[in-house]
Structure 1
Amino acid sequence: MSRLKSGLLACCASLAAGPAGHAADFPRGDSGLADDLRACNAYGAGFFFIPGTDTCVRFSGRARYEAGFVPNRNRTQSQGDQSQARGMIRLNLDARSQTDYGVLRAFLRVDAASRTGILQSTGTQQRIANAFPALGQDTFGRVQNFFIAEKAFVQFAGITAGRAASFFDFYAHDYEMSGLTTGSNLSSTNLLAYTSRIGGGLSLSLSMEDPFFRKQPVYAASVAAAAAPLGAPSQFVAPTAAPTPVILATDGGFNATGAAFLDAVQRSRMPDFVAALHYDDSWGSAHLSSAVANINVGGFIATPALGPAGTTIANDTAAALLAARGVTSGAQTDYGWAVQAGVKLNLPMIASGDGIYLQAAYAEGAMNYTGFTFFTGSYASNLTPIQGASVQQFVSDAVVNPITGKLELSTSFTVVSSFLHYWTPEWRSAFYGSYGALNYKRGTRETFSMLNGLVGNSAPPNAFANPVAFSLSPVLRDTDQVIAGVSLIWSPVRDLDIGIEGTYIGTSVQSGRVPDATYPILVNGLPFVTANRHDAGQIRMRIQCDF
């Protein structure tokens, strides 16, 4: 290992020094290469001076193998995977030097992996361009590789700039193998932050962070590819504009006679702003953070408004109908926000290395900051807790109310606790659990029942024409989630972990029932089997070596 590290450090040093430095410091045939690398003790173990400079560098990395099993009875629509596997590498480079303004630091981390099985191969990572899938009939969505610039930041005079972990986060699944609990853990985002060391272990950070890695989309009902009679089935598409409907007029009762469509794709109109107050002491640490995020939708799109019996409505007519209802422009902006508080307590009185985290978060229109969607997925508006689950979750930051045309923000709340205990210096376990809840504004879901067949199956059937079907619709239902797990890890030698972890996740609608997605059978247009929750478990093992 020392030869490998010396060789890699020499390679880094040669790149940093350039051709001239290479010729001077590393003559061809030099057998004393390792002797040229002087230890740098200013920043801890493992740092060496780059020959010919006063910059210290540390190279480190990780190799990991994981395998898992998730019971799954559903074999429809290419689902049904139960076994999972992943092989991963990580390479870190940490370079530091002293200046008149303090330490100048550059940190780089690259992660690469090959993973199989739906649980490991997540659509979430593909949706943010962190991974690419295999394209075979039996491998699409199941076999996935990734190569990620996980970290790439500069720190200087209190400034952190580049790709780094969000300053909002605290616990960030520190004790977990799978990282499933509801709690924010955005390990990579683009940011520019300033941290002021107030003193006595207290610091204040202000961070401007990339919004693309935090957004959950505004809910958008699919739009018929062609106008269809009210109540008739249609083929639906999701155009780039992701249209969502606004009712033009009704028949005087509870049926829409026309709908126009807003562009519901969120544009990046401002960064997210994060503030974090952090305190460290011998007993542990405490963290208080908040965030503000922009939520926006565009104006009405050019797609013709839909009317009854397959008709279309001219744009000027649609505009007049909207104006009569007080809707003059569909483009609008709102602001979501989130707050989080957490504490970590060191527990050496139980055993050396023991500790416990307690954390809670609340958000309006900024669901990802509570971590509610971490396991179920992100950057999509309709998901299931795991592949083949009985229930669906609609996980949008906001909804455009089809009656008022206004943005309405969703709310989410999570709490998590995690305890790490060392049975011996070689054996340790983590015990953790979390609860999360997601709620939409009262009455928002019901307004979609007025749309009848004007939009796709994403909209519930008419609440009055078919109240039973509407009562079972999964669209925009309030849901909650309970997660619990335990692990056992053996470290027979330094830097080697061999562990196993079992996790339970239960997802449920807060009231009523929904169609059971594992039984896609209808009787007289109604689901044959319904459900109000889905319970799942997984077992995962890991062998990991750090150097």
Structure 2
Amino acid sequence: MSKIKSLVLGSAAAIVAIGGAQAADLPVKAKAVEYVKVCSLYGAGFYYIPGTDTCIRIGGYLRAEVTVGGNASDNTFQNGDSALGLRTGNQYQTRGRIMVNIDTRTATEYGVVRTFGAFGPQFTSATSNTPGAPDTQGNGGMRVEAAFVQFAGFTFGRSASAYALPWNGAPGNINSGLMGGPNYDAGVNNIQYTWQFGNGISASVGVDGQEQANRTGLALGAFTLATGAYTNAYVAPNSVDVVGNIRLDQAWGLLQFSAAAHQVDASYYIPATATSGHPGDKWGFAVTGALQLKNLPTGPGDDIKISGTYTEGALRYVLGQSGATPLNFNMVDGSSIVALPVADGVYSATPGSAIQLTKAYGLNGAFNHNWNRNWSSSIFGSYTHVDYNGTASFTLCGAGCNPDFNVSQLGLSTTWKPVKDLAFIAEGSWIHIDQNMTGAAIVSAGRTFTYGDVDRFSGIFRVQRNF
């Protein structure tokens, strides 16, 4: 009887164990997978960030290039050892860069809230070496072109100024030193507001922080006759630049007018102490008109872009370059030398002297032509005139001298795109400086040059992959 009882109890235990094992093997309902969804509201490449109603697009480019006769991005040498033809200056420069763009947008009851950033590392080879150290290392760093928030018509952060043209300083070129107008391809810290009136009409107004994007230098006293260098007496910015534009976009092209007010504020007289006093601040200004013509009879996608700029006390608006505008032109061509100051204004060390604002005007533009789906070319150029008044000229270099000058530029760029988003670009640029100084100047190593007009050339080959 006890054996039967044990057998029954053992069988029951086995059945329970088997049932438990089978229960453990039953499939558990999986958590739903949240797939990434395409966001078609804002164009190609956007998708919803999982779990949110925010759309994001990640893009950018990778670029490799070599420039001969100039700084990176085909900026013809304008001063320094390389422009003087010294063996301590390189005659070419290389650069590698990757730029990442992150664009997010969220629809709200106040309209779309947008954030945008464009940033990335780059490495640029050295252009000038010291004797005995021929292997001077280049430099790497982070470039931030944009970092802004847009909300209800406002833009806060780093972006192109409200003064900027839609094509910035590149109507058809990759040359980062095209003059004759403004350039904000590296951005500026600002706040701006844009009105959309309909029918392609808009207007923007903003304030820009003063930095290399909107000022050159302020000359205190005379400049060095052999180099064009001077004592830069700009003080730390005390005011923002007030800027704005009115714009018309149509199927035939674009028309825009921009204006800016720029404060020129000086340091102390000599001796440079708080008790020496300083000249009163002055406000300069700049205005630009720009035109784009599309639908040309020369072919689909062809266009013409032109602009004209006038300024007093704000040369950066007419000598716009990517990065810092040079404070002097110091270049040689054969036996001729150019040694000229580039300054928003001039004042002397004598207490009571006032700032003399520099006047300038310029033109630039390009014709862009598509040969076929793979090949395109652009011809571009500029003309700029810089004028120091009589008082400024006497302060800079005494009686009888004339530091006024003209700059002309001309270039040709050709692009081959064998496949989508991959471009091979070759560009050549010429710069001519027409100056009015006379006499001779000792530059270095006992070399004697005569003041005269100078021509220089540069070229670039670039490979760029957009993504």
TM-score (norm 1): 0.69
What amino acid sits opposite 1:180 in the alignment? G
**1:59-116 deviations in whole A, cap 9, x for unaligned?**
002111111212968453822x112211111001000010111111000110321112
From 76, 79, 88, give the equivalent of 1:78. 88
Query: Which SS does the other structure have where 1:38 is aligned?
Result: coil
Counterpart Cα distance in 2 of 1:368 and 1:333: 18
When residues 208 and 386 of structure 1 are mapped into structure 2, their CA distance, relative to the original with a 3 A threshold, is farther
1:330 maps to 2:255: no
Q: Is the 8 A contact 1:364 1:410 kept in 2?
A: yes
Give 1:280's aligned residue: 249
When residues 277 and 517 of structure 1 are mapped into structure 2, their CA distance, relative to the original with a 3 A threshold, is farther
Give 2:466's aligned residue: 546
Q: Is the 8 A contact 2:171 2:305 kept in 1?
A: no
Counterpart Cα distance in 2 of 1:42 and 1:357: 30
Give 1:234's aligned residue: none
From 373, 390, 400, give the equivalent of 2:337. 390
Counterpart Cα distance in 2 of 1:415 and 1:59: 36
RMSD: 3.2
Q: Alpha-carbon deviation of 1:198? A: 1.4
Q: Alpha-carbon deviation of 1:479? A: 1.1
Give 1:153's aligned residue: 148
**1:2-46 deviations in whole A, cap 9, x for unaligned?**
xxxxxxxxxxxxxxxxxxxxxxxxxxxx9x99x821100000000
When residues 531 and 299 of structure 1 are mapped into structure 2, their CA distance, relative to the original with a 3 A threshold, is closer
From 376, 379, 388, give the equivalent of 1:431. 379
Give 1:144's aligned residue: 139
What amino acid sits opposite 1:535 in the alignment? D
Q: Any residues of structure 2 matched to 1:35-46 within 5 Å, and which?
A: 36-46=35-45
Q: Is the 8 A contact 2:347 2:395 kept in 1?
A: no
Give 1:22's aligned residue: none
When residues 386 and 488 of structure 1 are mapped into structure 2, their CA distance, relative to the original with a 3 A threshold, is farther
Q: Is the 8 A contact 2:438 2:451 kept in 1?
A: yes
Counterpart Cα distance in 2 of 1:421 and 1:516: 45
Give 1:311's aligned residue: none
Q: Alpha-carbon deviation of 1:394? A: 0.6
1:414 maps to 2:413: no
When residues 134 and 287 of structure 1 are mapped into structure 2, their CA distance, relative to the original with a 3 A threshold, is farther
Q: Any residues of structure 2 matched to 1:215-234 within 5 Å, and which?
A: 215-221=215-221
What amino acid sits opposite 2:122 in the alignment? A
Deviates more, 1:344-353 or 1:423-432: 344-353
Q: Alpha-carbon deviation of 1:386? A: 8.8
When residues 134 and 292 of structure 1 are mapped into structure 2, their CA distance, relative to the original with a 3 A threshold, is farther
1:107 maps to 2:116: yes
Unaligned runs of 5+ in 2: 1-29, 71-81
Q: Is the 8 A contact 1:505 1:535 kept in 2?
A: yes
Q: Any residues of structure 2 matched to 1:51-200 within 5 Å, and which?
A: 51-70=50-69, 74-76=84-86, 78-79=88-89, 81-118=90-127, 137-138=133-134, 143-170=138-165, 171-172=167-168, 173-182=170-179, 183-187=181-185, 188-200=187-199
Q: Alpha-carbon deviation of 1:515? A: 3.8
Counterpart Cα distance in 1 of 2:326 and 2:132: 23
Give 1:506's aligned residue: 432
**1:166-198 deviations in whole A, cap 9, x for unaligned?**
121214214212233212112210000000111
What amino acid sits opposite 1:546 in the alignment? N
Counterpart Cα distance in 2 of 1:349 and 1:88: 37
Give 2:238's aligned residue: 269
Q: Is the 8 A contact 1:373 1:395 kept in 2?
A: no
When residues 378 and 516 of structure 1 are mapped into structure 2, their CA distance, relative to the original with a 3 A threshold, is farther
Unaligned runs of 5+ in 1: 1-29, 122-132, 225-236, 244-263, 305-314, 320-328, 449-459, 464-469, 523-527
Q: Alpha-carbon deviation of 1:392? A: 2.1
Question: Which consecutive segments of 4 or more residues in structure 1 shift more than 6 A?
Answer: 133-136, 386-389
Counterpart Cα distance in 1 of 2:264 and 2:370: 44
From 241, 260, 266, give the equivalent of 1:291. 260
When residues 330 and 91 of structure 1 are mapped into structure 2, their CA distance, relative to the original with a 3 A threshold, is same
Structure with the higher helix share, 1 or 2: 1
Q: Any residues of structure 2 matched to 1:355-366 within 5 Å, and which?
A: 355-366=303-314
When residues 135 and 165 of structure 1 are mapped into structure 2, their CA distance, relative to the original with a 3 A threshold, is farther
From 412, 416, 419, give the equivalent of 1:486. 412
**1:308-336 deviations in whole A, cap 9, x for unaligned?**
xxxxxxx8xxx7xxxxxxxxx42411001
**1:451-497 deviations in whole A, cap 9, x for unaligned?**
xxxxxxxxx4x75xxxxxx75xxxx7111100000111100111010
Give 1:130's aligned residue: none
Larger-gyration structure (1/2): 2
Identity %: 27
Give 2:24's aligned residue: none
Q: Is the 8 A contact 1:83 1:117 kept in 2?
A: no
Q: Is the 8 A contact 1:391 1:516 kept in 2?
A: no
1:342 maps to 2:290: yes
Counterpart Cα distance in 1 of 2:132 and 2:280: 42
What amino acid sits opposite 1:161 in the alignment? F
Query: Which SS does the other structure have where 1:46 is aligned?
Result: coil
Query: Which SS does the other structure have where 1:104 is aligned?
Result: strand
Query: Which SS does the other structure have where 1:177 is aligned?
Result: coil
Q: Is the 8 A contact 1:114 1:143 kept in 2?
A: yes
Counterpart Cα distance in 2 of 1:513 and 1:543: 43
**1:126-146 deviations in whole A, cap 9, x for unaligned?**
xxxxxxx99993355x72222
Q: Is the 8 A contact 2:88 2:130 kept in 1?
A: no
Q: Is the 8 A contact 1:134 1:143 kept in 2?
A: no
Give 1:378's aligned residue: 324
TM-score (norm 2): 0.80
Q: Is the 8 A contact 1:496 1:543 kept in 2?
A: yes
Q: Alpha-carbon deviation of 1:402? A: 4.9
Q: Is the 8 A contact 2:221 2:395 kept in 1?
A: no
Q: Is the 8 A contact 2:246 2:256 kept in 1?
A: yes
Counterpart Cα distance in 2 of 1:212 and 1:365: 15
When residues 110 and 446 of structure 1 are mapped into structure 2, their CA distance, relative to the original with a 3 A threshold, is same
Counterpart Cα distance in 1 of 2:279 and 2:120: 39
**How many equivalent residue pairs?**
414
Q: Is the 8 A contact 2:270 2:349 kept in 1?
A: no
Counterpart Cα distance in 1 of 2:302 and 2:331: 31
Structure with the higher strand share, 1 or 2: 2
What amino acid sits opposite 2:64 in the alignment? Y
Counterpart Cα distance in 2 of 1:517 and 1:154: 52
Counterpart Cα distance in 2 of 1:176 and 1:52: 43
